Amino acid sequence: MLNEHDRANLEEISYAVSHIEQYIEPVKSLDELLQNHLIYDAVQMNFIIIGEASKRISNEVKKSNPQIDWKGIISYRNFVVHEYFGVDVKILWSAITFELPKLKLELEKILNK
Cite the active site residues. Answer: 77, 82
In three-state form (DSSP H/G/I as H, E/B as E, the rest C), the secondary structure along 46-97 is HHHHHHHHHHCCCHHHHHHCCCCCHHHHHHHHHHHHHCHHHCCHHHHHHHHH
Query: 3-state DSSP call for residue 66?
Result: coil
Other CB atoms within a 10 A radius of the CB of residue 12 amount to 17
d(CA 96, CA 40): 11
